[in-house]
C-alpha cells in the first residue's frame, strides 16, 4: 500500500514533491496522471502490485503521487508523517493510504 497525494496545482509541483520525497526520505515515489488502466499497470510496475487497488472507490485529482510506505517502526511512522506535512509546501493534498 502507498501514501496517496493529489490536487497539485500543476505537474511540475507533483514531480518536484516526488523528487523531494525520494531525495530527503529515501522512499520510492512516482507521479501518475490518472486512474485509467495504463496508469494502474505502470503503478504496479513502479510501486508494487496493488499500488492503486485501494483507489478503486475514490476519484482523485491528477497528477497523483504515490509514495511507498516506509515500514512499521516508530522512525518509519515519523518519516511518513514528515512526508504528509511536506506536501503542503507543494500545494498538494494527502488523501490516504
- What pLDDT sits at residue 97? 77
CB 3 within 8 A of CB 93: no
How far is residue 35's CA from residue 33's CA, in Å, rounded to a whole number? 7
Q: Is the pLDDT of residue 71 over 90?
A: no
Report which of 67, 64, 81 is spatially closest to residue 13, judged by C-alpha positions: 64
- What pLDDT sits at residue 9? 96
- What pLDDT sits at residue 60? 82
**Domain residue ranges of the chain, discontinuous segments joined by +:** 2-96
Domain 2-96 has CATH 3.30.70: yes
- What pLDDT sits at residue 53? 61
DSSP letter string, 6-53? E--SSHHHHHHHHHHHHHHH---EEEE--SSHHHHHHHHHHH-TTTTG
How far is residue 21's CA from residue 3's CA, in Å, rounded to a whole number? 11
Q: What angle do CA 58, 9, 78 make, to 5 degrees?
A: 70
- What pLDDT sits at residue 56? 58
Tens digit of each residue's pLDDT (9 = 90 or more) over 10-69: 999 999 999 999 999 999 998 988 777 667 777 776 666 666 665 555 678 889 898 988
Q: List, in order, residues 6 or more apart from 55 with CB less than 8 Å away.
A: 4, 35
Tell whether pTM > 0.75. yes
Amino acid at each position: 500500500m502507498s501514501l496517496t497525494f493529489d490536487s497539485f496545482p500543476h505537474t511540475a509541483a507533483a514531480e518536484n514533491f516526488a523528487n523531494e520525497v525520494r531525495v530527503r526520505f529515501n522512499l520510492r515515489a512516482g507521479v501518475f496522471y490518472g486512474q485509467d488502466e495504463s496508469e494502474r499497470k505502470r503503478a504496479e510496475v513502479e510501486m508494487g502490485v496493488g499500488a492503486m487497488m485501494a483507489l478503486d472507490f475514490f476519484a482523485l485529482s491528477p497528477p497523483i503521487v504515490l509514495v511507498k510506505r516506509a515500514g512499521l517502526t516508530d522512525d518509519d511512522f515519523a518519516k511518513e508523517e514528515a512526508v504528509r506535512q511536506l506536501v503542503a509546501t507543494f500545494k498538494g493534498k494527502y488523501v490516504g493510504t
